[in-house]
Structure 1
Amino acid sequence: MASVGQKLKDARIAKGLTLDDLQQTTKIQKRYLIAIEEGNYDALPGKFYVKAFARQYAETVGLNPNEIIQELDQELGMPASPEEQAETTSRVQKREELTRPQDNSLSAKISKYLPTIIIVVVVVAILGTIYAVAWGNHEKAKNQQIEQTNTKVAVSTDVKKPAKKKKSESSSTSKKEQKIVNIASAGSTFTYNVENAPSQSTIELGASGGSSWDAVYIGGAQSWQGTLQSGATKEIQVPAGTSRVVLSIGNSNASTVKINGHKLNFLAQNSSLTVRKLVLNFTNGSSSTNAETQSQTQTAAQTQGQGQTVNNQNGYQTNQQQRYQQNNGQTNNYQTVTR
């Protein structure tokens, strides 16, 4: 009867495997494989490794590892331990289960996936319940919002009816629109009339695209002076009753001026100037009328004065002519008497 080592060797050769091939597959050192084939079990680290290496060798070359271990036990003269017998039994059962034909019927598949199906159905039911509750709350909130909107619309409609009357009343008493008119230009000085201005005005200085250095004079005294960086603004409150404000503007192309929210387009008068002085004359409706009346009175007075001057000049010339004629008559009479 052939030894275990010889059976393993014959099976290896029958499969066309070399010891190097077997070493690469089983990861068992080549010297241990040679020792098993030659029956030199003392060359291995211990009996446990003898059985483990022999089992792995047998599985690789296609022999029944359980039979090889049994023959190896007989050859070594030692029975298998209970642990080895249990391991051998479990291996046989696993192999039988793997080789046993599987039941591919529909009932077998359903029973296999039944727990998964139950879990999926429960999860779907929970999600459906949550969605139904959320949808119901959404519809309820939507209906409440519509009711509140309808109530607000009804209330606002009732409130807005008398508001039209107030609007018409305010429109009838609306003030005249402010106007800014350039009335004089001399060198770098430009004079503007701010007509229909409120009793207390606001001047806003700003800078855009560069820095602007400005100064404000109210009533002949300096009210503010400083440099505005690009994007910065400065508001100047003009006291009530002020009729004249002077602005000194540096870097005109980067400066802006607003009077009571109305932009002053000072670049329309000689846009090439960098530094300029802006004289603002503030007038409201009544002061404008008074100014016109005073201007007409002054014009009439000037005309009357000019007329009196002309009359005086004409009277003086007439008197001179009369005296000249009288002198000529006396001379002629004296010449006649002498002759």
Structure 2
Amino acid sequence: MSIGNSPEDERPFEDGRSEEGHEEEARPSVGRALQQARIAAGLTVDDVSSATRVRIAIVHAIEADDFTPCGGDVYARGHIRTLAKAVHTDPAPLLARYDDAHGGRPAPTPAAPLFEAERIRPERRGPNWTAAMVAAIVAVVGFVGFTAFKGGDSDATSVAQGASPSASEPAKPKPSNSDPATPKSDPSDSAIAAAPQDKVTVQVSAVNGRSWISAKDHNGRMLFDGLLKKGESKTFQDSSKVNLILGDAGAIQLYVNGKKIQNDFQPGAVERLTYTKGDPEVG
């Protein structure tokens, strides 16, 4: 027998009954009442299932007065109410009839502890761990804050005590910046005087301003290429020859093989120079 899809195929059962049976037909069971109401409304089981979202198998079971697939009295009553509304019949008499047949209306209280227990169980663990973590963090932060505060006090005290010497110290670099050529000349001269005689030694000092310079050895290898600021100096050595390009020759003072080069370079003039191991010569 196929699942009923037409109301005509689902007629009430006809069987011989006693007078007591006729009284039972006058008051049909919950499932029979729902089935008759569905047929009277011209609906199939598929129609009711689609309208109520109750599975077809459960609709068939309820119409056969089998409420086991519902999963309990609470769900069975809910299905009865939903199906009754779908087939346009009053659910109240059917629910009363179901309660009479199944020991009365189920008390809702047993369900509440079950859900309450499920809800409380994870929450009981979470807050404990959270409280422990919060307490630990607060303790660490408090300790760090206290340590920082105490350290800040000691630092402030040390700064206050050392304020006078630190304020006077910045005056020390002034002499070196105001007269850069003087302190650099003595060590440069001594370094040049001690230069090997078998090499060419060239010292470039920016005494009158800054200048771009380029220095190469006898093989054309770059020794330096950059800006020489006022007061700075560079010393270059090679076995036979040093080639120079001075971007602002007027700002430069040269020492070659221990001798100061007397020149009349003009400010802003670009000069290309070559020095060897012999007497200084301009190439």
TM-score normalised according to structure 2 size: 0.37
- Normalized per residue, the structure richer in helix is 1
TM-score (norm 1): 0.33
Higher CA-based Rg: 1
